[in-house]
Every structure is written in structure tokens, then in C-alpha cells.
Amino acid sequence: MSTSSVLSTEKTMEKSDLLKDMVAVVTGSGRGIGKAIATVLAQAGAKIVINDINVDLSKATAEEFKSQGFDAIDAPCNVTVSEQIEKMVETVMNKYGRIDILVNNAGITRDDLFMRMSEEHWQAVIDTNLTSAFKVTQPVLKIMSKQRRGRIINIASTSGVHGNPGQVNYAAAKAGLIGFTKTVALEYATRNITSNAVAPGFIDTDMTKALGEDKIKKVVERIPLGRMGLPEDIAQAVLFFAGPGSYVTGQVIEVSGGLYT
């Protein structure tokens, strides 16, 4: 994510205590959309757990949050590995004793046309973008169930809603994540736990920068609002779902500037 977009959030967002005393775990929050989500939740008063597969990035990001006066820790792990997830949850519980908000944000792309898609790339994307949510959410839901309060927010994609050529693995994983979101919503509503998804369109992060300028230009031409989204655009939608009094569950909101695929 570009530094300017983080700074623009800092400038425009007032600090509030909407999420005071709440603990938020954001996976893949070392950079990009996850970092912007962590920033907005911290500005709303939440205590933040920075998780990333990149240990140094997790640490540096948590330090950055602390230097801005936010209450934050780093709990790095690979969200595809159950033993590492257990340790992450243990670290959070030892420090804060609760988890109120879980944002399943960590994700990767391994794009290719369907006939050229290798099984390895298929599986890597399913593991990181879908199975990880199952593995991380299970232990967290046990904690939220005892608390009788929780917010699960999954970062899907418009690709998972509408499909996208070259992304059969990614679209399948994100569509699966939407089914996951709706089912968790139904199973956990009686425990005062909501489960919702945000489906970003085309957002300015390192993930999309990797596509190169030509491809980016072509996609931007198709966006009705005429620009790429910023990570903060996604973070604002997450904040909506994270609020304590929310009566919304099982929903998917597309944050895409009107882009349909």
C-alpha cells in the first residue's frame, strides 16, 4: 500500500472510542488492505493484533502502531498452519484475554487461465484464501462463544461474486469464503456473533501493483467511479461490520467503485 493512502486515513479519520476495550485480530496486516483495516480499527479504539506470515513485517508494523500511541502486539504466523495459529491465539489470549473482532484478510493470487492452471497454484490459493479462514475462525469462535460477543469479517473479492478470467482458483476460494461467511452467520447468531464479508474490487496495493501498468490502466477504464480503490475504502466497510450494535449478519458488501467483475 502506498504511504500516502495510509496518511490520508490518518488525516481524515477522527479517533473515537466506538471499539474501546475490544481486541481485533487482523490476519495479513503487515501491509496493504490488512494494515489499513488495522489502522481504522485502532483509530476507533480497538487493541490491535498484527498478524502476518512475514515475521519482520509483523513486528515492524506493530511497532509503528505503538509509536502512534495505539495498543498493539504482533502475533505472526502462517494462517495455513494449525499449530502456528494455535500459538497466535495463545499469544493474544495471554496478552489481552479476549478476541472481539477477527478479520480474515490474508490472501494471495496465483493467476492463470483455467487450462494452464497448475494443481499447485490451485491448492495454494484455496489453502491461503479459504481453508485459512476455517482454521483461524474455529479457535476464535470458541472464545467469542464464551464471551457471547464477536464480529467475524472476511475479506472476499468481487471475483468470488462474479467470476474473473484468469482467476479460477482465486474466484473459487473467495466464493467459498462467502458461503463460509453466511453459514457461520446462521450457526452463531444466537451467541451474538455476526459474520459478514467485504468484497473488494480493484484496490491499490502491492498485490495489484504486480499486474503492471498496462493491465492496471485497462481495469481502471472499466471502473464506473474512475479510480482504483484505496485500502482505506475497504477498511471503512470493515469498520461498519465491526461496530458493537450491528444488526447485520450474513451479508457481503462489494466495495468496488461499481466494477462488476
Which residues sit at the interface with ligand NAD, rule CB under 6 A?
27-28, 30-34, 52-54, 78-80, 105-108, 128-129, 155, 157, 200, 202-203, 205-208
Residue 62: phi and psi, rounded to 5, are: -60, -40
* Minimum distance, C-beta of residue 53 to ligand NAD, in the bound complex (Å): 4
Residue of 96, 170, 188, 260 with catalytic role: 170
Tell the burial category of 220 from Cβ atoms under 10 Å away from its Cβ (0-12, 13-18, 19+): middle
Q: What is the DSSP letter of 190?
A: G
* Minimum distance, C-beta of residue 39 to ligand NAD, in the bound complex (Å): 12
Tell the burial category of 207 from Cβ atoms under 10 Å away from its Cβ (0-12, 13-18, 19+): middle
Residue 217: phi and psi, rounded to 5, are: -60, -45
* Minimum distance, C-beta of residue 20 to ligand NAD, in the bound complex (Å): 26
Spell out where the chain has E strands: 23-26, 47-50, 72-74, 101-104, 150-155, 193-200, 252-255
Does 188 participate in catalysis according to the annotation?
no
Q: Of 34 and 176, which CB lies nearer to ligand NAD in the complex structure?
A: 34
Q: Of 44 and 133, which CB lies nearer to ligand NAD in the complex structure?
A: 133
Q: Of 44 and 234, which CB lies nearer to ligand NAD in the complex structure?
A: 234
Paired sense of beta strands 193-200 and 150-155, if any? parallel
Q: Of 54 and 82, which CB lies nearer to ligand NAD in the complex structure?
A: 54
* Minimum distance, C-beta of residue 204 to ligand NAD, in the bound complex (Å): 7
C-alpha–C-alpha distance, residues 56 and 186, integer Å? 38
Catalytic residue set: 170
